[in-house]
Structure 1
Amino acid sequence: MYDICVIGAGPAGISSAVYAASRGLETVVLEEKEVGGLLGGVSTVTHYSGIVEGETGASFAERLKRQAESYGIDIRREKVLSAELEGDVKTIVTDAGTYKAKAVIIAAGTTPRKLGIPGEKELCGHGVGMNAAKAAEKYEGRDVFVVGGADGAVKEALFLAKYAGKLRIIHFEDKLGAIPEFAEKAEKAENIELLLHTRLVELTGEKEVEALKLEDVHTGQTQIIRSEGCGVFIYAGSTPNTGIYPGLLQEDGYLVTDSRQQTNVPGVYAAGDICVKQVRQAATAVADGAVAAINAAAYCKNNE
């Protein structure tokens, strides 16, 4: 029996665990993949207060892990399969065991969304759907395509452009949706071309990407760009990992919480990108985690 079970080891989850452990609560963290969540896979971490120079997603994730371990927090690499959240004792079932806790903090984040176009699934891992930080050097001097125009997409495009011979950003809007800092750098980069009001509608190739089919959203006209061995990095948003929590109040798939990060079920809290919120950034995720843990600790104390 744990006091608090945290689901997810991204910034929100680790923040929750540290604040819970600092209050003397027996805490376990369940994470299907790696500490750091989606942030752990980005090329660079920007804007977060106090980051070290040259901070990468991997280095940030490693420091999160070390901090949690310094508090003696038990981090288990297991996939959560189901959760019974009603009552005084919560039960979490994973692919490796069953955990019971007085309170639960759900910080399971989101999963990158697929485009759902022909060729995407077949070529995944063969030029499509890769991690930019890990795959960039493989595409040195080659053509690279980045799908998406928001902050995350353009930031990764700027990183990939350091290696690519030519990089094209494919975005369905008439202008990039990224903040000026990123958008202006992309517009000025010599080897970056913006393909605006354009959608990627098909990928073709046998063992690697050979061609991309694009469609102009205004005219409906299509064009084929042939580029054997190119890299295609897709940033089409994400979907919240809330499928196994049907008993929790949701809005557009995101968990609804109050000012204490509590859901509609007593003793169950949520933090980070999985919540209904205006801003989804590492800074807000960490803040959510702190608020959730402080209130979860109070809940545990009040129910001793």
Structure 2
Amino acid sequence: MKDKIYDIVIIGGGPGGIGSAIEAAAHKIGEILLIEKTDNHSNTIRKFYKDNKRVDKDYKGQVTTLQGNVEFYDGTKETTLDYFNNLLDTEKIDARFNTEVEKIIRNKETDLLEIHTSIGLIQTKNAIVAIGKMGKPNKPDYKIPPSIKAQVNFNLDKCSTNEKILVVGGGNSAAEYAYDLADQNNNVTLVYRKATFSRLNETNENLLKKYNGEEKLRLRMNTDILSLENEEDKIKVEFNDGYSVLFDRIIYAIGGTTPVDFLKSCGISVNEDEQPIFDEHHETSAKDIYVAGDIAFKSGGSIAIALNHGYHIVNNILRKRGKIFSHTEKFSKSE
């Protein structure tokens, strides 16, 4: 791969990465490569969405008009994955899974971008960073004792049934973890530091209230955690309301963090909030390196917006080449 020169290399196989790949392929932009560190595309949907979970095109009901060659509609986890499979197969997108990217450096002699990966050096004219934030979750400020780390999660991995579980957070991931675990016959408490939810979509908020009312789970609002201790192989949680409770497991869903070190290793400038700086075309301070999808959102964002990122990026690459950008036949997906 070292001698091959790609026109676009896309790092990340979520909606932003897939949208970019499909736009580039639809406009016959040249050699395209999609790199994903996990064993398949759409890892967040595969790993964090339960079976038959609804997948919405828009985020929190904010309607977004799709501008490119992908027509995406609300569906389920399964229909969404099938649809993205079909798109990638139809366009015969060259993909490398289980591949880590270390950094991107411009070769001053060739003026090409060199992507340092776990499978070797890859050269490209343009790079699109479409990585998510789930890989580096936020962690609490207080100490997690080493003796209980096996019982502390940042996703649903290793969870079973008939456990007493504390879910920490007030976002959609926390809500979905809580009622999914409750459905698996666990004793679930969700603790949130604020008195009311402010970031939940309507469906998740209604489900939480319903499950709380039916005593399928318990909500502890306006409550902070002060400390964790190991007490006879249980997690002793000290709350700021004066109570302490023993749990079998604790799951944190308190948001993700932008992988700042990786961005900086690619020459991408970040702002005071450690978010990548980019222009209206999603091109960063590092020439010919773009950002799409989750990495380009300050907070939450929709699949539709991520797909539109790909449209704008490819549009800009074509414009730089002096080509006229036009729509081609769109791909469609039924619900």
Q: TM-score, normalised by structure 2?
A: 0.76
Q: Secondary structure at the match of 1:225?
A: strand
Q: Which of the residues 141, 145, 151 maps onto 2:166?
A: 145
**Matched position secondary structure for 1:102:** strand
* TM-superposed deviation, 1:296: 2.6
What is the deviation of 1:176? 2.1
Confirm or deny that 1:164 pairs with 2:168.
no
**Alpha-carbon offset, residue 120 of structure 1:** 6.3
Indicate the residue corresponding to 2:48 in structure 1.
42
Shift of the 300–31 alpha-carbon distance from structure 1 to 2, 3 Å rule, reads farther
1:214-244 per-residue CA deviation (whole Å, 9 max, x = no partner) reads 322xxxx4432123xx332210111112322
One-letter identity of the residue aligned with 2:256: S
Query: Matched residues, percent identical?
Result: 22
Let me know the Cα RMSD of the aligned residues: 2.7
Unaligned stretches of 5+ residues in structure 2: 58-71, 324-335
Conservation of the 8 A alpha-carbon contact between 1:106 and 1:270 = yes
Corresponding position of 1:235: 253
Following the alignment from structure 1 to structure 2, what is the Cα–Cα distance between the partners of residues 154 and 188?
12
204, 216, 221: which one pairs with 1:182? 204
- Mapping for residues 189-228 of structure 1, pairs under 5 Å: 189=211, 190=214, 191-205=216-230, 210-216=234-240, 221-227=241-247
Q: CA deviation at 1:8?
A: 1.0
Q: Which residue of 2 aligns with 1:75?
A: 95
Residue in structure 2 matching 1:113, options 116, 131, 138: 138
Tell me the residue number matched to 2:33. 28
Cα distance in structure 2, aligned partners of 1:202 and 1:96: 42
Change (3 A) 1:90 1:46: same
> What amino acid maps onto 1:7 in structure 2?
I
Equivalent position amino acid for 2:95 in 1: I
Residue 103 of structure 1 is matched in structure 2 by: 126
Give the aligned length.
288
Question: Secondary structure of 1:214's partner?
Answer: strand
Secondary structure of the structure 2 residue equivalent to 1:239:
coil
Deviations 1:118-150 (A, max 9, x none): 3366544x3321543x656x22x3322211011
When residues 122 and 98 of structure 1 are mapped into structure 2, their CA distance, relative to the original with a 3 A threshold, is farther
Which of the pair has the greater relative contact order for Cα pairs under 8 Å at 6+ separation?
2
Q: What residue is the counterpart of 2:276 in the other structure?
A: 255
1: CA distance, partners of 2:146 / 2:308:
36
Residue by residue over 1:174-221, the C-alpha shift from the partner in whole angstroms, topping out at 9 and shown as x without a partner, is 122323432232123122211112223444448x961231322xxxx4
Whole-Å separation in 2 of the counterparts to 1:101 and 1:32: 18
Distance in 1 between the 2:252 and 2:262 partners?
Answer: 26
C-alpha contact (below 8 Å) 2:142/2:227 kept by paired residues:
yes
User: 1: CA distance between counterparts of 2:282 and 2:123?
Assistant: 21
